[in-house]
Structure 1
Amino acid sequence: MTDLAILFEHPAWFVPLFAALDRRGVDYARVRPDGHWNPADRTPPAPVVFNRIAMSSFLRADEHPIFHAQALLDHWQRAGARVVNGADTLAIDASKARQLSLIASLGLAIPETRVVHRAADVVPAAQTLGFPLVVKANIGGSGAGIIKFDSLDELRAAVADGGLPSSVDGVLLVQEYVPVRGGAITRIETLDRRYLYAIDVAGGGAFDLCPADACVVPGSGIKMAAVEPTAELRSAAEAIARAVGLDVGGVEVMIDDRDGVARFYDINALSNFVAKPLDVLGWDPHDRLVDYLVDEIEKAR
């Protein structure tokens, strides 16, 4: 049995992680969430399993692994494996509604939001908010499943014409459109529930603000810069990570230009770190991640 198994779906995003593991001589296996598994088999693929399943996987295959992976990771945990970003964390990652509820329970501000599971409830939900607003898929990825509406008539027409976004779990969020101060959101990355680094990400008003290598293509308009968030924002991100059980991942926050309030709105357990980290940060966070994984392997022995 190898020391570490990495469960992943995207074909390119984890090349930097694999390279960092190879440099350190870590014994690991690359595991895809395909094929079949036996619920009576109590043998995990490794003492430590690292979950790297992306919520955007549904964009690459209709037969996506999101819910399958939740069951599989839970199975391996029951079999005794230490799962980094385990089944419970994946379940939160797969629900923006649960993320917002958790964030609000910590006393942190979120965008005003209503959660529905029927198209018929979208207009009544919107009538409790103002315009413009957005309708979001509960499970999204790289900005997928977000549509902005500027008026009630526009929204009603979309409901009538079947023009709402769809979510693979059938749940939608109706949410106020927050004007972001400076046009950039802040993504705060954590490792082992502690602050790792932060970047400002600006996308020219687009919802696709993914900072991973595979998301940054010529002409995308995505701009990134390293920043030092305030102590309050760092503390808030760490509190969210602790509440989620987030071993590695990002928390996204935006400053509301209307009132200056920091509104947290997304938890991303898949964090693949920033593109070109040496250029943006001056160091490679994959090295810190490998340090963490090596420590977890030692604990599991």
Structure 2
Amino acid sequence: MSKIYVIHENEEWTVHLRRRLEELGLPFEEWHLDEGTVDLSSEPPEGIFYSRMSASSHTRDHRFAAELTGQVLAWLEAHGRTVFNGSRALELEVSKVKQYLELEKHGVRTPKTIAAVGKAQILKAAEAFNSKPFITKHNRAGKGLGVQLFQSVEALRHYVDSSAFEEPVDGITLIQEYIQSPESYITRCEFVGGKFIYAVRVDTSEGFQLCPADACQIGDLFCPVGEQIEEKPKFQIVDGFYEPILEKYEKVLAANNITVAGIEFIRNSDGEIYTYDINTNTNYNSDAEARAGKYGMLELAYFLGKQLDKKTPVSVS
């Protein structure tokens, strides 16, 4: 029997999708690819495949999960299987450099960014920002890994020469212009089936490392969103959101065979939009969704169910 295969490496980030698939009575199987084998002489099972592999998998001691997934996706695609968020999506998931190049190619403005390998080169790259504030981040990141704000090259020098410096898993540090918003928030646009479903406003007043996943709210030290005790929630779905840039985002996703994604942007003091992240392993915040009555994982489960129906032959008695 054909079924939905969900490829991932993090149980906590997959539990909500699992519940929605069960709720809809859809047949599915999970492939947890923190380790495993790929028999190149065998054929994959029939069905449809959806990858939720994360760029931050190495932070959960799954150092080679993304690399293994890349080989599995290539195997599936070589056999003509239907794969959502396949090889190209994973390629962009683990490289912000490639994300920015692809966004710019489609007319989407990104912050000025320099990629550097080596501490001396990181410092040299920072000099290009002419004493203006800048941030560092990891090329392969997720969860805001390595994001730090600096006001000067000297401050950066103290950081890279200290024990606090985080070496990126791929060795590539990005030095990026700091886009200061007049209000402390960023906007994350969610897409399912390559189409926009909603935008969520994320309060950044407590820092950059802001993952919407519920699991991050209950103990992930790299993603300190914490419990919401203040009157204003950290995540708020924006009612009736529309911006012309959504059309460009959808073209970017279509050109790269990305079905499910969260794309983040920030506005500067002039209201100009700068896009800085494509997350193909997107998560949703359940509190924000409950308040708005919109549910990303339910939309995704419906989408996968419809795609499975297209692949399932109808028996004629």
TM-score of the superposition, structure 2-length normalised?
0.88
**1:281 and 2:292 are equivalent in the alignment:** yes
Residues 191/235 of structure 1: CA separation in 2 closer, same or farther (3 Å cut)? same
d(CA) in 2 for partners of 1:74, 1:111: 32
Equivalent position of 1:153 in the other structure: 154
State the 1:131 CA deviation.
Answer: 2.8
Q: CA separation in 2, counterparts of 1:205 and 1:233?
A: 27
Q: Secondary structure of 1:182's partner?
A: coil
- Give CA-to-partner distance per residue, 1:27-86, whole Å, 9 cap, x none: 111111144323423322442111111222111115341122112111111122211100
Contact 1:39–1:75 (8 Å) recurs in 2:
no
Which one of 248, 260, 279 corresponds to residue 236 of structure 1? 248
Over the aligned positions, Cα root-mean-square deviation in angstroms equals 2.0
Specify the code of the residue in structure 1 equivalent to 2:254: R
Structure 2 unaligned segments of length 5 or more: list them.
219-225, 313-317
Distance (Å, rounded) in 1 between the aligned partners of 2:84 and 2:126: 38
| Secondary structure of the corresponding residue to residue 92 of structure 1 | helix
Give the letter for the 1:244 counterpart: N
Say whether 1:298 aligns with 2:302: no
1:33 maps to 33
Rounded Cα–Cα distance in structure 1 between residues aligned with 2:262 and 2:35: 30
Whole-angstrom CA distance in 2 between matches of 1:18 and 1:173 = 35
**1:278 to 1:114, Cα distance in 2 relative to 1, 3 A:** closer
Judging changes above 3 Å, is the alpha-carbon distance between structure 1 residues 204 and 112 closer, same or farther for their aligned structure 2 residues?
same
Aligned ranges for residues 50-199 of structure 1 at < 5 Å? 50-61=50-61, 63-129=63-129, 130-161=131-162, 163-199=164-200
Give the 3-state SS of the residue equivalent to 2:74 in structure 1.
helix
Tell which deviates more after alignment, 6-15 or 157-166.
157-166
Note the C-alpha offset of 1:299. Answer: 2.7
Is 238-247 or 185-194 further displaced after alignment? 238-247
Q: Name structure 1 gaps, 5 residues minimum.
A: none
**Which residue among 225, 230, 242 is the counterpart of 2:236?**
225
Please name the residue that 1:22 is paired with. 22
Letter in 2 for 1:289: L
> Counterpart of 1:299 in 2: which secondary structure?
helix
Distance in 1 between the 2:184 and 2:161 partners? 32
Q: TM-score, normalised by structure 1?
A: 0.92
**Range 55-64 or range 216-225, more displaced:** 216-225
Please state whether the residue corresponding to 1:41 is helix, strand or coil.
coil
Q: How many residues align?
A: 300
Deviations 1:8-43 (A, max 9, x none): 111222222111111211111111114432342332
Question: 1:264 pairs with 272, 275, 297, which one?
Answer: 275
Q: Which secondary structure state, in structure 2, belongs to the residue aligned with residue 188 of structure 1? A: strand
3-state DSSP class of the match of 1:128? Answer: helix
| Alignment check: 8 A CA contact 2:266 2:275 kept | yes
- Which residue type is aligned with residue 294 of structure 2? W
Q: Is the 8 A contact 1:5 1:45 kept in 2?
A: no
Q: Within 1, Cα distance between the matches of 2:291 and 2:249?
A: 21
Distance in structure 1 (CA, Å) of the matches to 2:145 and 2:46: 33
* Residue 276 of structure 1: how far off its partner (Å): 2.6
Query: Are the equivalent residues in 2 in contact too, given 1:6–1:50 (CA < 8 A)?
Result: yes
Distance in 2 of aligned mates of 1:18 and 1:230? 30
Secondary structure at 2:91's aligned position in 1? helix
The one-letter code sitting in structure 2 at the alignment partner of 1:286 is M
CA distance in structure 2 between the aligned counterparts of 1:243 and 1:163, rounded to whole angstroms: 39
Counterpart CA distance in 1 for 2:148 and 2:171 is: 16
Match of 1:248 among 220, 241, 260: 260
